[in-house]
Structure 1
Amino acid sequence: MKYLLSLLLIASVLAVSAQDDNAAGEYKKRVLEHTEIDILLNYYEQDGENAAVTGGRGTEELTDFSPTIIVAVPLNDDDVLTINANISAYTSASSSNVNPFDGKQPADPFVASSGASKSDVWGNVVGSYSHSSDDRNRLWNANLSGSAEFDYISIGFGGGRTWLFNEKNTELSLNGNVYLDTWSLIYPIELRPDEGSSFQQVVPGYDPSFNEHSSKARNSYSAGIGLSQILSSRMTGYVSADFILQDGLLSTPFHRIYFADKEDYFFENFHLADDIEQLPDSRFKIALGARLNYFVNHRVTLRTFYRYYTDDWGITSHTASIEIPVKITDKFTLYPSYRFYNQTAADYFAPYNEHLSTEEFYTSDYDLSEFSANNYGFGISYTDVFTKGHIWKLGLKSIDLKYHKYDRDSAFTASMFSFGVKFVVD
């Protein structure tokens, strides 16, 4: 909250001290005419059988409810302050098995524990400030963010510049962001210094060679460039390049690992960990993207997207998507969509109980495995640019309802329902 208050104070000072470069006193259209309020509600659920918490084998059942509010406030003709606040409340069968022995039933990787680790709340606040030049051909923005969950705290900041030229037919943008994260080092219950000794006493021979992490920090630095161009009266194109460098603790402390060359030890129905996930302390990512939108007629538009991704962990991926907005009336639009994704496995990935203890790095997180996925979506939108409908002093500008179904070929499925409503403050 203190970061949000600081941003509001800075924005207020900038707004008061901002000078109007339009010496001729000519009329110019405000960047944002009125305060806008977006209220978003998302419900997400997933299921699978390859949980990283239990070494690549076990339930991945999770549900998440995430409300978000976004408020954009015009400070003057040229400046806009935007506040984005989000809370995510989830229940996870997978994370509950960080300590599978704190429930009433026998511990099992395919059964959620009923202990305290089964649920948590994540909170995030982002404040951004943008300024446009008088001719609207230049824009700069800055942002500050903070988020927290039970096992980490993150602070982020960044900014960007945008230039429009060629009679606003061409747009070039640059951006950069920094995120500074700190983990709370929560390990699987059987590997913790205090509790681990009790497992060694009741399970003869169990004596894992486990060392705690020396660092709690993870930093991320990103830079991006984008170029959009109006190609014709019906077609627009956009290309982008993003570069991300991460360093610090990049593995998750409570992801278990099992070695094929070590004897297996069980307590109740649960396989006790040999070690935790170990990954390099740096990662460099490159993503190259392209969009092409084609306006078929006043009712139908084609929106296509492709992205190529690679990193120095050995992952290469391809994403291709298409969305076809269909305007069925002046106010209602349908949004069918499809996205295909595939990736190669990270150099350090192996399934459950297939790693060797002689390896330097290892993970059984199936997000780093080789897989392909399909995402099917459908949405409907109501838009009233004149905000004729009102709730108290709020003019109703738009309502959106969307559904997405995600299927991965590694026995993982997910669904997401989202609802959004935008108001304009009269």
Structure 2
Amino acid sequence: MRKIYLGVLMLYMGILSSHAQMQTEKQAVKDTSNYQSRKLSLDEVNFVSGYYHQNGNNSAVTGGIGTEKLTDFANTLDVQFSKYGKSGRKNTYLFELGVDHYTSASSDKIDPSTISSASMQDTRVYPSLNWTSLNEKTGNAFGFTGSYSHEFDYQSFGAGFNLTRLSKDKNTQFDFKAQAFLDTWKVILPIELRTGYNPNVQQGREQKWDYPSAPRNSFSTSFSLSQVLSTRLQALIVVEPSYQKGLLATRYQRDYFTDGSERAENLPGGRYKLPIGLRLNYFLDDHFVIRTFYRYYMDNWGIRAHTAEIEVPIKFSSFVSLSPYYRYNYQTGTRYFAPYGQHNPTDSYYTSDYDLSTLHSNFVGANLRLSPPKGVFGWQRFNSLELRYGHYMRSTGLNSNIVTLAMKFK
């Protein structure tokens, strides 16, 4: 039931156990030819922890007005194994487990008569498993992913396929990804619009409301082509078409009309999205890299958006770097949006969710990375430590901060 406006809670780092290190050392002693062990070995264990806080005064739960205060504490752990098959291909197995816990003042207004309802806070658990088969000589690879996610009013089953192809000179790379998410979520209405009270149903802290369920299925693909243009310049273009079908409206969000009436949010049951991005990386010298990115977004709800980003990693040494970054976004909102009390009673679709409005935003921050050759704090297996901070400012008045800590033992 959460509404988080920035998809910046996820980074991927690693921690490698001492047992895996000893196994690697033993294998290295035996590797006197082209021998490759067919035993399953532990490569990495990745962990990241992030804290996110936002505040604003345009909550969609209360019709586009009211507090948007929200906090989220996210933790992700992934474990990577590898094994060589009989054909010599490297098989990589990546298991990831994510656990997020959030508190949301705006979601608690679904039933404002309660002191603190179940919607005030929730925990999301989302494991996934990926298998990738790699030909190390050519760089070509393919793989499959399965995932699951669950929280109070929502569960999701996901499946994906990934494919990588490299040119003979390794200067051109093509990547393809396809994903499908089959979701089911409870149709929870604002308290004053509910009719499904059932004294025989026990729903924990939500007590005796009999919530129906509705599907929401998402299908996405990604086509990317990267090219080394020179010794200093690299380029990448990516196209990511997607389609969603099912209950796309968040039914516990209110909308108010010019005649004084109130309804639950209603949006079309289908949505096409088409983001197109271009990335350019320029290696200025041994100490500076300039990374730029531009993305154009469009969908059939009438939203158009432009995003531009620049990041300049600065290497103070081979193992210490600081990467300040800045991102600007401008969005033309959907035709279904109107502020509090301004919807036309004859409209078929309507929302007061400011995520879908016309807006512009700024996101600024920096990433500090330490990766000393003798390990962080002198611990050989502590490969790297990263600390990232970002501040988000939106023209609607929403502001947020995020701090992310990542460690890697290897």
TM class by shorter-chain length? 0.7 to 0.9
Aligned counterparts, 1:92-131, within 5 A? 92-103=104-115, 114-131=116-133
- How far residue 384 of structure 1 moved from its aligned partner, in angstroms, is 3.6
Distance (Å, rounded) in 1 between the aligned partners of 2:196 and 2:41: 60
Match of 2:137 in 1: 135
Match of 1:44 in 2: 52
Distance (Å, rounded) in 2 between the aligned partners of 1:397 and 1:33: 18
Match of 2:27 in 1: none
Q: Deviations over 1:294-333 (max 9, x none)?
A: 0011001000000000000000001100000001122110
Residue type at the aligned position of 1:234 = R
2:111 is equivalent to residue 80 of structure 1: no
| Candidates 338, 352, 365, aligned match of 1:350 | 338
* Alpha-carbon contact 2:72-2:101 (below 8 Å) kept: yes
Residue type at the aligned position of 2:60 = A
Long gaps (5+) in structure 1:
1-24, 104-113, 197-211, 264-273
Aligned counterparts, 1:92-241, within 5 A? 92-103=104-115, 114-193=116-195, 216-241=214-239
Q: Deviations over 1:248-290 (max 9, x none)?
A: 0000110111111236xxxxxxxxxx11000000000001001
- How far residue 34 of structure 1 moved from its aligned partner, in angstroms, is 5.2
Q: Residues 246 and 187 of structure 1: is their aligned pair in 2 closer, same or farther, counting only changes over 3 Å?
A: same
Residue type at the aligned position of 1:55 = G
Q: What TM-score results when the alignment is normalised by the length of structure 1?
A: 0.81
* Alpha-carbon contact 1:36-1:72 (below 8 Å) kept: yes
* Corresponding residue SS for 1:88: strand
| Candidates 252, 255, 259, aligned match of 1:254 | 252
Residue type at the aligned position of 1:408 = R
2:335 is equivalent to residue 323 of structure 1: no
Q: Deviations over 1:213-259 (max 9, x none)?
A: 98700000111110000110111100010100100000011011111
* Alpha-carbon contact 2:320-2:372 (below 8 Å) kept: no
Long gaps (5+) in structure 2:
1-32, 199-209
Q: Residues 365 and 339 of structure 1: is their aligned pair in 2 closer, same or farther, counting only changes over 3 Å?
A: same
The answer to which of 222-231 and 130-139 deviates more is 130-139
Distance (Å, rounded) in 1 between the aligned partners of 2:323 and 2:90: 33
* Alpha-carbon contact 1:39-1:420 (below 8 Å) kept: yes
- How far residue 73 of structure 1 moved from its aligned partner, in angstroms, is 1.2
| Candidates 260, 272, 295, aligned match of 2:283 | 295
Percent identical pairs in the alignment equals: 38
| Candidates 391, 397, 403, aligned match of 1:405 | 391
Q: Deviations over 1:151-194 (max 9, x none)?
A: 11000001111100041000011110000000111111111115
* Corresponding residue SS for 1:96: helix
* Corresponding residue SS for 2:352: coil
Distance (Å, rounded) in 2 between the aligned partners of 1:221 and 1:62: 29
* Corresponding residue SS for 1:117: helix
Q: RMSD across aligned C-alpha pairs, in angstroms? A: 2.3
Aligned counterparts, 1:302-317, within 5 A? 302-317=290-305
Match of 2:349 in 1: 361
Residue type at the aligned position of 1:403 = Y
Distance (Å, rounded) in 1 between the aligned partners of 2:364 and 2:235: 24
Residue type at the aligned position of 1:95 = S
Distance (Å, rounded) in 1 between the aligned partners of 2:37 and 2:291: 29
* Alpha-carbon contact 2:188-2:211 (below 8 Å) kept: no
- How far residue 291 of structure 1 moved from its aligned partner, in angstroms, is 0.5
Q: Deviations over 1:60-108 (max 9, x none)?
A: 00011111112111123601111111111011001011111112xxxxx
* Alpha-carbon contact 2:174-2:224 (below 8 Å) kept: yes
* Structure 1 stretches of 4+ moved >4 Å: 25-30, 212-215, 385-391
